[in-house]
Structure 1
């Protein structure tokens, strides 16, 4: 039991379970899943489907954070990717042409690679602090997305493109399979090759890693590129789900939710060891929390306030030092004679 209690996934799973149980008590049919036209429908399916873009962005953010970096531009990359894909499709004579859809996807993902590489070069080669380097694209990226869309919302009428975000495969939303594929790729690259060890080494001590023969610049560049790809694919899912691109609002605040998901999942912002499965659970917690807030009818104007307080409570529950302080106060209040022994053990 002690090992289970100390496992990095213990508290995230407990928090996710608590949120799901609260929803079940509030709405008894929350766990109900129905089949309609070969598709599964239900609140749990919606959490997975609507949470897919955030999970993708958080997976890429995890590797960046593991190198002791941060990427504030992921929300802008989400907007740019969706805008470019929708613009390309809208210019075609037949919006359902498979070749046009493939070209639009490749262009969007290719641009995301370039944007991720731009961030990586600023951090690894130019030596700019990650928060400043990515803040540049965070601000400029919104402008680029609005330039692509002409300041308007671009709508498309392509069933093939909308399949990415709203289609179903084997009765489940197709977006879930995209997330699983990217998670498997990330796990294989970081757990079955030496890349994961290099990332953790660079995050712990880049100077020592360089002296050990690890090309820290290439490692940092690769994680920012991968993060850009994840954000680009997330942009495709978001825009295809609503068959439109909004350069101003698409992916707004995704960078903050992704960072929260990474922290909730157990990865430290100080770099080093990282947990991809924990990040996925963290993203599911945030999406479940968002669903809960809307379900219980919290007024839109205070939604972010409620969400921030809940996230703060979640982070405090996960904090070892906070739990130790609470336990110490409770113990000394109820057993004053053990105060000195507890302090000595601590």
Structure 2
């Protein structure tokens, strides 16, 4: 007899992880095919200019790097049945701290200054994330309320840091390399996002951390009774989310060479939640899919270019995102797929009733 705990692969069934990724991948491939049909294979084929990878799809990945960082942190938070609406404000705070510290210095090109500015920004954003987690875990405040407070106040904090101005870093400053530089021709934002993805994947899939996250999100009370320190894990994931948002803010500010407290990372929390949902992670907590979130981010970035390439106005951007999320959510729903395939399924043949003579003979 096959036990319930036997892996699906051993039972001959499909891997549930791959099944979750199948539909987002199908949507991404469809978007790529549409763009190739409109613009040609140059959309997907990278090029090398000035010792740096370029091309339409590479540019999408580079622009999507900050969103991917925020979305990865959001995935871990949602896995614990939480939400973080403050990531956009934390993005702005991290950018404001680093840029203001750099422009206040006499030599903006000093390596020690750049390191100190980046480190200070990450420490502050990490502390902010841990504060959100503490409010949720130890004070029992609902995640949406705890992070909404900082979502409102965070941009005010960023404006206080910059004095209401937009600090602009010199183009010659090494800080701009975080957003504009390249390592072995690969844009630095892509390298940073890939390293963070790899690190989080190793921590959550090669250690017990991933199982603990899913346990806390799936059933917090059972986790507590099992001896899992759910409060500490909750604080940890919010801290990581804050770090990811701060790092995203640094990349965004380095790319622009400035920090805009009002518009930096504006509404990035909504795109992050969309990417997490598209990637197959349920908002109810439990199982999470970092690779699925990555695919969701690439879908959002590709969709923005697709709207332009097919000749639609930018006003379609939000509507198109909603349509994509709706389609992916339906495709991931077993009930919807069963309803669609119901007319094509063969009904089991019912045996013909026995003749009356045979019934009477019995």
TM-score scaled by structure 1? 0.92
More moved, 180-189 vs 312-321: 312-321
Partner of 1:175: 189
Question: Are 2:8 and 1:27 equivalent residues in the alignment?
Answer: no
**Cα contact 1:204–1:272 (8 A) shared by 2:** yes
Instruction: State how far apart, in whole Å, the 2-side matches of 1:27 and 1:161 are.
Output: 34
**Cα contact 2:307–2:316 (8 A) shared by 1:** no
Instruction: State how far apart, in whole Å, the 2-side matches of 1:304 and 1:267 are.
Output: 21
More moved, 312-321 vs 19-28: 312-321
1:75-154 superposed matches below 5 A: 75-154=88-167
Instruction: State how far apart, in whole Å, the 2-side matches of 1:278 and 1:44 are.
Output: 18
Question: Are 2:338 and 1:324 equivalent residues in the alignment?
Answer: yes
1:184-199 superposed matches below 5 A: 184-199=198-213
Of 271, 289, 295 in structure 1, the residue corresponding to residue 309 of structure 2 is 295
Gaps of 5+ in 1: 342-346
**Cα contact 2:134–2:235 (8 A) shared by 1:** yes
Q: 1:304 to 1:91 in 2, by over 3 A?
A: same
The structure with more helix, counted as a fraction of residues: 1
Question: Are 2:272 and 1:261 equivalent residues in the alignment?
Answer: no
Gaps of 5+ in 2: 1-11, 351-362
Of 9, 14, 17 in structure 2, the residue corresponding to residue 3 of structure 1 is 14
- 1:155 aligned counterpart, secondary structure: coil
1:31, distance to aligned residue in structure 2 (A): 2.1
Question: Are 2:19 and 1:12 equivalent residues in the alignment?
Answer: no
Question: Are 2:90 and 1:63 equivalent residues in the alignment?
Answer: no
1:331, distance to aligned residue in structure 2 (A): 3.7
More moved, 286-295 vs 48-57: 286-295
Alpha-carbon RMSD across the aligned residues, in angstroms, is 2.0
Instruction: State how far apart, in whole Å, the 1-side matches of 2:43 and 2:203 are.
Output: 37
Note the alpha carbon deviations across 1:145-192, whole angstroms, 9 max, x for none: 222222332211143111001100011101111112111221222122
1:221, distance to aligned residue in structure 2 (A): 0.4
Instruction: State how far apart, in whole Å, the 2-side matches of 1:339 and 1:51 are.
Output: 50
Q: 1:278 to 1:90 in 2, by over 3 A?
A: same
Question: Are 2:246 and 1:246 equivalent residues in the alignment?
Answer: no
Partner of 2:298: 284
Q: 1:72 to 1:340 in 2, by over 3 A?
A: farther
Larger Rg: 2
1:196, distance to aligned residue in structure 2 (A): 1.3
1:241, distance to aligned residue in structure 2 (A): 0.5
**Cα contact 1:4–1:10 (8 A) shared by 2:** no
1:4, distance to aligned residue in structure 2 (A): 7.0
Note the alpha carbon deviations across 1:282-312, whole angstroms, 9 max, x for none: 1111111112123334323343223322332
TM-score scaled by structure 2? 0.88
1:272, distance to aligned residue in structure 2 (A): 0.9
**Cα contact 1:87–1:148 (8 A) shared by 2:** yes
**Cα contact 2:178–2:254 (8 A) shared by 1:** yes
